[in-house]
Structure 1
Amino acid sequence: PLFVTWKKVINGGEPRLRGCIGTLEARCLITGFRDYALT
């Protein structure tokens, strides 16, 4: 499984989970990150 999560700081507070995307299928780490990266 491969999951990518991201957190966001709002008004200087603690980082909060803002999103998660991924798959339960087996993936190669390098190409998996490439598929789920924003850039």
Structure 2
Amino acid sequence: MHGFAQHAVAVQRVGMHGLQRGKLKALIAVRTPRVR
């Protein structure tokens, strides 16, 4: 059960980090539309 709790926390951390990265990517995409 303890291992499951650690896994849940790890998933939450990754989820939060993923959302932040997604927001940064979205902002960059909006600022520089199709640079490549």
- TM-score, with normalisation over the residues of structure 1? 0.24
Instruction: Name whichever structure is richer in helix by fraction.
Output: 2
Higher Cα Rg, which structure: 2
| Structure with more of its chain in strand, by fraction | 1
When normalised by structure 2's length, the TM-score is 0.25
Instruction: Tell me: higher relative CO, structure 1 or 2? Use CA pairs within 8 A at least 6 residues apart.
Output: 1
